């Protein structure tokens, strides 16, 4: 009996070690709790983030142990990537946003349009207008396909009324990055310098890759199987994140 208990403990330890290695060096699951990345990421999406894409820092590991202040095997992120990072305010909270500004860039909204390095980001108005949530509120928005200088395309939405028309000029420091949510008027991102601001390269956790499961919590949860047919978003299963 004692021998069997010891063997079970060993198996449990091995499993925990393997799970930690996978989570630290390969993939980590994340849950989307807010609407800041709508319409591309929805509340209830569960996705995998690759930890190896940009190399490894202390934030690659559980609880972000203070074992290094550098990034190892590093690769630079690309403009337009959807990235999970630790907020500079506490180096603990995970945010997921789209990378817009690289080190040395200037970012500004002028008359409702996004400018990077004084160049207008090209955008095309889409015909499918969307109603987007923001907390308990629902707003009518205009949907645009924006195209960055490297050819990256994605959908961003702006409120029809009350959208941010003009902003400060943001100058991205060296070794830092500037992030925006795709739901532009309902996103706490790098525009809020006191809470998010410019994000250090070492604070990047990984790149969002694929949605492996999605559930509309307004309809039901995993504890209500009789609602699965309507609450589970089957079409989003294994959807690649753009």
Residue 145 has a pLDDT of 96
| Residue 36 is among the residues annotated as catalytic for this protein | yes
Residue 236 has a pLDDT of 96
Strand duo 94-101 + 170-171: pairing: unpaired
**How confident is the chain (242 residues) per 10-residue block, as mean pLDDT?**
76 81 88 95 96 95 90 96 96 96 98 96 85 86 96 95 92 98 96 94 97 87 74 94 95
Question: Are the beta carbons of 177 and 154 closer than 8 angstroms?
Answer: no
The DSSP-derived string for 203-229 is GEEEEEEEEEEEB-TTT--TT-GGGHH
Residues 36, 57, 60, 143: which is the catalytic one? 36
Residue 15 has a pLDDT of 82
What kind and span of H or E run contains 17?
A: helix 2-25
Reduced to 3 states, what is the DSSP secondary structure of residue 52? coil
Residue 13 has a pLDDT of 86
What value does the CA radius of gyration of the chain take, rounded to a whole number of Å?
A: 20
| Residue 97 is among the residues annotated as catalytic for this protein | yes
Residues 86, 97, 200, 207: which is the catalytic one? 97
Homologous superfamily (CATH) of 2-240 is Umud Fragment, subunit A (2.10.109.10)
| Residue that is written with structure tokens 């889409």 in the block | 126
Question: Are the beta carbons of 54 and 28 closer than 8 angstroms?
Answer: no
pTM: 0.91
Rounded CA gap, 233 and 9, in Å?
38
Residue 128 has a pLDDT of 66
Handedness of CA 178, 182, 95, 58 (dihedral sign): negative
User: How many helices (H) and strands (E) are present in the chain, helices listed first?
Assistant: 2, 16
């Amino acid at each position: 009996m004692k021998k069997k208990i010891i063997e079970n403990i060993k198996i449990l330890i091995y499993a925990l070690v393997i799970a930690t290695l996978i989570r630290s060096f390969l993939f980590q699951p994340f849950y989307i709790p807010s609407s800041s990345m709508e319409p591309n990421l929805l509340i209830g999406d569960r996705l995998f983030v690759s930890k190896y894409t940009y190399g490894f820092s202390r934030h690659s590991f559980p609880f972000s142990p203070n074992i290094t202040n550098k990034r190892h095997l590093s690769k630079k992120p690309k403009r337009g990537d959807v990235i999970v990072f630790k907020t500079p305010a506490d180096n603990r909270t995970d945010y997921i946003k789209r990378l817009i500004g690289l080190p040395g860039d200037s970012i500004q909204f002028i008359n409702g349009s996004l400018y990077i390095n004084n160049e207008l980001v090209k955008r095309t108005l889409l015909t499918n207008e969307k109603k987007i949530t923001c907390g308990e509120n629902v707003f009518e928005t205009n949907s645009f396909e924006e195209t960055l200088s490297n050819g990256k395309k994605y959908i961003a939405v702006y409120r029809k009324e009350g959208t941010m028309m003009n902003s400060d000029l943001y100058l991205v420091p060296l070794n830092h990055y500037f992030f925006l949510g795709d739901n532009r008027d309902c996103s706490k991102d790098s525009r809020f310098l006191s809470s998010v601001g410019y994000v250090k390269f070492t604070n990047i956790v990984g790149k969002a890759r694929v949605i492996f499961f999605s559930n509309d919590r307004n309809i039901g949860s995993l504890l209500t199987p009789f609602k699965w047919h309507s609450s589970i978003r089957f079409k989003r299963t294994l959807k690649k994140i753009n």
